[in-house]
Structure 1
Amino acid sequence: MDLDEAGSVFTDPTAYADEKRWHTATALLRRHSPVHRVETDGVAPFWAVTRHEDVMTISRDSERWHNAPRTAVSQDPAAPAPPIRSLVQMDAPDHPVYRHISADWFKPAGIRRLSDRIAQLAKRYVDHMADLGGECDFVTDIAAHYPLYVILSLLGLPEQDFPRMLTLTQELFGSDDVDLARNPSDTAALDTLLDFFQYFQTVIADRRATPTDDLGSVIANATIGGEPIGELEAVGYYVLIATAGHDTTSAAISGGLHALLEHPDQWRRLTDDPDLVPTAVDEMIRWVSPVKHFMRTATENTTLRGIPITAGESVLLSYPSANRDEDVFTDPNAFDVGRTPNKHVGFGFGAHYCLGTHLARLEARALYTELVPRLHEIELAGTPEYMQTLFVGGPKHLPIRYTIT
């Protein structure tokens, strides 16, 4: 593999489904071209940033590096701005103002109020594993539903709509996967967004007419500069929370179990000492890195590792690569449930640090706190499959066979 072949993994959805190929490529780039120019047909050129230090440097400097106009590698920065924008498309001064709308709901104090309910849901889904008779697809039967239930309940959406939200999320993030995309057309992701828009228009109207005590009502009735939040901005807020708020956690939970199955010594270590669950969860997030990248755009001429980058050029922050950086992590390709410290960037960093960090950790810890003491034997019952994606993803199938009480 040469450097250009290595750089091509960032524009090939199948690469993220092939762990060996992907990590071989990014290890090569970290060693020999950590700020690497990628030029691929059909994709606007960008610089791939693969070292942890550089990802952190860019993430800390939100004045020099903006999210707009290009958030993801598949976007054309010269194209008109998307009609619906969320926090990830915003920069200051808008970003901190809109982020503040829901910030209190996701702070540790706010999340602690959910602890008992999340523990109950964790038990409910582990009980469901037991009811399935010792064999299931951990992704489609458990991991896809548990965090979905948490986040959509927080928004106040009716439970009968949860399957629809799951399908739309999978179509949105899986638009590059033949098994998950709505259709093979170039407009598949846009069609899904339009469905989201129509659904959340109804939610906005309902919450404005009859406010409730859920997060959905807080968003619908928020004010920006003394004026009601715009409908498109409210929809963008809903879509971000309803999708990334559960899909990334699902990926970490299921990918984490796959890692434990691949490293039986770490599974034994965790079952012998369940107090390791918190560090094990952070290691799962590092290992899976559900958010594969975000893009930033230089607002001025600058340099990175001596490479000149011109104002208006894009950089891709590769979180999975940064999370395997040999300069930061001892034996980075080893899965270690007790890894301390663990300076992963699975939640990003800086002004755009993930709002749902504390909720995601609480959900994963609750599930594994319930699961580890009850699961006595476990093995793969088939071949795991991972999403073909360029943006967000993890396992799409994890067939397992187990003994559980």
Structure 2
Amino acid sequence: MTGPDILSAQYAADPYPYYQEMLSSFPLYLHPATGFYLVSRHAEVTRVLQEPPFTNEVYAWQLEPVAGGRTIVQMDGPEHAHYRRLMGAPLRGANFREWIVPEIERMSAGIIEEFRERGWADLRADYADVMPCDVVSALLGLPAEDRPTFRRWFVSINAFMSNFENDPAVTAAGLAARAEMTEYLRPLIADRRARPRDDLLSAFCNAEIDGVLLHEGQIQAHCSTLIAANGDGTSATIAYTMKELLLRPEHLQDALRDRSLIDRVHLEAARLNPPVHMLLRFAAKDVDLPSGHVPAGSTVACMVGAAHRDPERFGQPDVFSPHRAEIDPARDFTPGGSILHFGRGRHFCLGAHIARITVHTAVNQLLDALPGLCVAEGASLIEKGTFTRNLTHLPITFTPAPRGAIATAP
């Protein structure tokens, strides 16, 4: 039996009715065009994401060509644990939050200043797309004047990963971005080896495995992994979080009074409209799931968009409810939460912590800086994407204000 065609125009326009069909009638099926086994129920998606014999070897074709080498997301066992400690340590350092939060606040304020006087903006193109790219650039310690070029590479590399239609232009752009970024980073890597700074590129350049420094290809691959981890997903989450607030005045007023609610709105927006609708895994052995059999050697598509609307896991799953009991900010930004677009278990996204800080800061500063903020009258809010999904545009209007410092709520 063949379930919904995830490459059809109808699915691309609105996948949510098809998720209901998957959950009720096709919880596991083979999609002929891609060869993927699609699994959709929350309990089974969770199992595939975190338990053997499912591995991340699919990233050998999805990420490695634009990463420039084997990356942590492909690894398992002791190799994965070692690289996870290596990459994670700088993100957990004692001074990391003290450094990165003010830096993200400065970047956010600078981006808002570019359109603050106009009284209107496309929140997706003018803000949400820019923020995660600039955050990764800051984490790596890249020169601020190079950020426009880095943004172009950022877009091309993320598009390559979502290119299930095998569009040759998208493939070529991704590989070209990889080649350009390789040449760009080469002298910076040499500089950081000689003169380390307080940034992730310096940490990678001076990290050792069994007493041997990482070679240039490994460092380049780590930089690409950061792009993949903090790209389209963070942009979409900013856009969806703001959309839900602006379309629901009662929740907007709550968030204005209590900024700690932003995390709950963020998580519920990501549950209802996840930035990543599909995560891929490889079945190293034959597996029998409650919904059916998965042969060894298969690629399994974990349909996160469907799992987030599974009525067995979430009450009234199609209703936006940031105060729902199933949402818990203390758990859902960790490997054990119910929100799945960050992954689960040992492959939980290293960038989840950065995404949380970025979204919270982005939303917080928009609420402070743009009085009278609302969705533009007559705006058509259209989504696009199969692997990742985002609003094509989010037109907003607000009361114009002169350029000046943006005060951030505590």
- What per-residue deviation string (whole Å, max 9, x for no partner) do you get for residues 142-168 of structure 1? 112223222211111011111111111
Q: Which residue is equivalent to 1:402?
A: 398
Is 1:144 paired with 2:144?
no
CA RMSD across the alignment: 3.1
Q: Which residue is equivalent to 2:295?
A: 310
Task: Pick which of 285-294 and 312-321 moved more.
Answer: 285-294
- What per-residue deviation string (whole Å, max 9, x for no partner) do you get for residues 240-265 of structure 1? 21343243212110122223344444
- What per-residue deviation string (whole Å, max 9, x for no partner) do you get for residues 79-105 of structure 1? 999852222222223211112112123
1:266 touches 1:336 (CA, 8 Å); kept in 2? no
1:256 touches 1:287 (CA, 8 Å); kept in 2? no
Aligned amino acid, residue 387 of structure 2:
F
Shift of 1:127: 4.3
What secondary structure does 1:328 align onto? coil
Aligned amino acid, residue 396 of structure 2:
I
Aligned amino acid, residue 393 of structure 2:
H
Is 1:210 paired with 2:198?
no
Aligned amino acid, residue 47 of structure 2:
T
Q: Which residue is equivalent to 1:24?
A: 17
Q: Distance in 1 between matches of 2:207 and 2:233?
A: 26
Is 1:348 paired with 2:334?
no
1:256 touches 1:281 (CA, 8 Å); kept in 2? yes
Return closer, same or farther for 1:138/1:75 CA change in 2, 3 Å cut-off.
closer
Q: Which residue is equivalent to 1:64?
A: 53
Q: Distance in 1 between matches of 2:237 and 2:95?
A: 22
Aligned amino acid, residue 59 of structure 2:
T
Q: Distance in 1 between matches of 2:312 and 2:181?
A: 42
- What per-residue deviation string (whole Å, max 9, x for no partner) do you get for residues 174-205 of structure 1? 35999xx9973653333332233332333322
Q: Distance in 1 between matches of 2:288 and 2:358?
A: 40
What secondary structure does 1:376 align onto? coil
TM-score, normalised relative to structure 2: 0.83
Q: 1:47 aligns with which of 10, 13, 37?
A: 37
1:196 touches 1:239 (CA, 8 Å); kept in 2? no
Return closer, same or farther for 1:371/1:102 CA change in 2, 3 Å cut-off.
same
Gaps of 5+ in 2: 328-337, 402-410
- Correspondence 1:73-88 to 2 at 5 A: 84-88=69-73
1:280 touches 1:337 (CA, 8 Å); kept in 2? yes
Q: Distance in 2 between matches of 1:189 and 1:98?
A: 25
Aligned amino acid, residue 101 of structure 1:
L
Shift of 1:75: 5.2
- What per-residue deviation string (whole Å, max 9, x for no partner) do you get for residues 283-321 of structure 1? 233233222322211222220115222221221112222
Shift of 1:349: 0.7
Q: Which residue is equivalent to 1:130?
A: 116
Is 1:326 paired with 2:315?
no
Q: Distance in 1 between matches of 2:214 and 2:322?
A: 43
Aligned amino acid, residue 346 of structure 1:
H
2:28 touches 2:291 (CA, 8 Å); kept in 1? no
Q: Distance in 2 between matches of 1:211 and 1:5?
A: 53
Q: Which residue is equivalent to 2:406?
A: none
Q: Distance in 2 between matches of 1:110 and 1:279?
A: 26
Aligned amino acid, residue 103 of structure 2:
R
Shift of 1:336: 2.3
Is 1:383 paired with 2:371?
no
2:268 touches 2:322 (CA, 8 Å); kept in 1? yes
- What per-residue deviation string (whole Å, max 9, x for no partner) do you get for residues 184-228 of structure 1? 365333333223333233332232233222110111222222222
Aligned amino acid, residue 245 of structure 1:
N
Return closer, same or farther for 1:247/1:176 CA change in 2, 3 Å cut-off.
closer
- Aligned-pair identity in percent equals 26
Shift of 1:38: 1.1
- Correspondence 1:241-390 to 2 at 5 A: 241-271=226-256, 273-342=258-327, 343-373=338-368, 374-380=370-376, 382-388=379-385, 390=386
Q: Tell me the number of residue pairs that the alignment of Structure 1 and Structure 2 aligns.
A: 386
Q: Distance in 1 between matches of 2:295 and 2:27?
A: 17
Return closer, same or farther for 1:127/1:108 CA change in 2, 3 Å cut-off.
farther
2:62 touches 2:161 (CA, 8 Å); kept in 1? no
Q: Distance in 1 between matches of 2:254 and 2:244?
A: 13
Q: Which residue is equivalent to 1:4?
A: 2
Return closer, same or farther for 1:398/1:185 CA change in 2, 3 Å cut-off.
closer
Q: Distance in 2 between matches of 1:184 and 1:227?
A: 39
Return closer, same or farther for 1:17/1:196 CA change in 2, 3 Å cut-off.
farther
2:40 touches 2:303 (CA, 8 Å); kept in 1? yes
Gaps of 5+ in 1: none
What secondary structure does 1:294 align onto? strand
Q: 1:101 aligns with which of 86, 89, 92?
A: 86
Q: Distance in 2 between matches of 1:264 and 1:26?
A: 28
